[in-house]
């Protein structure tokens, strides 16, 4: 998705006069993974901005044909990209992110740029210590080869099934893989893996900023990639902020909870939270 497309969405949000909401995807997905969410929020009176990471292709087919465009995208680069885009909105937006998008969402909130935030199965940041076996298995797809730091790494179907689609049927898992899965930058996973060893890491969040705003962490009960222990550790890092911090677990859901057939339950949970403050 081009920067021009993103800026056009910002202009449309400003022109609408409606409260804006920014959606941030994670690794192995594109902005189009939020399309149904954007429509649901628009129906409820919000102006959605479904922006991409730098150089995101427009379609899954294009992404799989040119995986190299995903390489060398760091957490800091992506966070700065979204913060710059958000600064062009006339009003502070609500921000919703999934996986590494959930980490970026918390970085944005920690810079005081969001009115309320929802981090869904968020990738860990410095200070989040649990390393569950299932999360290590998912990350090993990238971390198993140091050369992947500078590469774009695709998921095989079996890797997607374990990391994203373990809580849906085989038929739905294959449909999700074909519809949504794209290669992803390896660099953010390496950054998150060593965040607690690197005081200068980009994978860090200012959890104490008094302008952080309300934050909801959503965890999928059966998530292999970001299990409850990681999501809850992120919540515990955040909960001393003066603003409201909450966590909720969605029963029976895996990492695909934003894109699978149960997406609406998760979207409603996020919308209900945001409407309290925005």
If we measure between CA atoms, which residue out of 187, 188, 166 comes closest to residue 177? Answer: 166
Q: What is the mean pLDDT of residues 150-177?
A: 97
Q: How confident is the model at residue 245 (pLDDT cuts 50, 70, 90)?
A: very high
For residues 220 and 222, give the distance between their C-alpha atoms in angstroms, rounded to a whole number: 6
Name which of 193, 183, 187 is nearest 73 in CA terms.
Answer: 187
CA distance 14 to 90: 6
Share of the chain above pLDDT 70, in %: 100
pLDDT digits (tens, 9 = 90+) for 70-124: 999 999 999 999 999 999 999 999 999 999 999 999 999 999 999 999 999 999 9
Question: How much is the pTM?
Answer: 0.97
Gap between the Cα atoms of 19 and 96, Å rounded: 14
Domains and CATH numbers, the chain: 3-275 (3.40.50.1820)
Q: State how far the Cα of 210 lies from the Cα of 76, in Å rounded to an integer.
A: 22
Burial of 55 (0-12, 13-18, 19+ CB in 10 A): middle
Q: What is the pLDDT of residue 2?
A: 73
Q: Provide the 10 A C-beta neighbour count for residue 6.
A: 22
Residue 52: partners with Cβ closer than 8 Å, 6 or more residues away: 1, 5, 6, 25, 30, 31
Interval 146-162: pLDDT, tens:
999 999 999 999 999 99
With vertex at residue 51, the alpha carbon angle to CA 182 and CA 48, rounded to the nearest 5 degrees, is 125
CA–CA gap between residue 92 and residue 115 (Å, rounded): 6
Say what the pLDDT of residue 42 is: 98
Three-state secondary structure call for residue 97:
strand
**Spatial separation of the C-alpha atoms in residues 205 and 103, rounded to whole Å:** 8
Q: Over 90: is that where the pLDDT of 54 sits?
A: yes
**Phi–psi pair at 109, nearest 5 degrees:** -60, -40
Distance CA 222, CA 142 (A): 22
Q: Which helix (H) or strand (E) holds 50?
A: strand 47-50
Mean pLDDT of 48-76: 95
């Amino acid at each position: 998705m081009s920067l021009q497309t993103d800026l056009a969405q910002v202009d449309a949000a400003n022109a609408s006069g409606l409260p804006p909401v920014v959606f941030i995807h994670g690794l192995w997905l594109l902005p189009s993974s939020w399309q149904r969410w954007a429509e649901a929020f628009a129906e409820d009176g919000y102006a959605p901005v479904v922006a991409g990471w730098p150089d995101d292709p427009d379609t899954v087919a294009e992404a799989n044909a040119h995986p190299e465009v995903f390489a060398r995208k760091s957490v800091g680069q992506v966070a700065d990209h979204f913060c710059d885009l958000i600064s062009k909105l006339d009003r502070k937006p609500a921000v919703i992110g999934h996986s590494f998008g959930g980490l970026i969402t918390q970085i944005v909130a920690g810079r005081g740029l969001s009115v309320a935030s929802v981090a869904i199965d968020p990738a860990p940041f410095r200070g989040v210590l649990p390393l569950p076996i299932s999360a290590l298995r998912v990350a090993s797809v990238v971390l198993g080869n140091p050369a992947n730091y500078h590469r774009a790494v695709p998921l095989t179907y079996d890797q997607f099934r374990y990391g994203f689609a373990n809580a849906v049927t085989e038929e739905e898992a294959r449909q999700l893989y074909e519809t949504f899965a794209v290669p992803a930058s390896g660099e953010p996973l390496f950054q998150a893996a060593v965040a607690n060893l690197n005081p200068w890491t980009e994978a860090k969040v200012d959890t104490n900023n008094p302008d952080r705003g309300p934050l909801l962490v959503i965890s999928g009960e059966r998530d292999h990639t970001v299990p409850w222990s990681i999501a809850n550790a992120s919540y515990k890092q955040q909960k001393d902020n003066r603003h409201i911090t909450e966590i909720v677990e969605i029963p029976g859901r895996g990492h695909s909870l934003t894109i699978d057939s149960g997406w609406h339950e998760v979207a409603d949970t996020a919308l209900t939270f945001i409407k309290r403050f925005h």
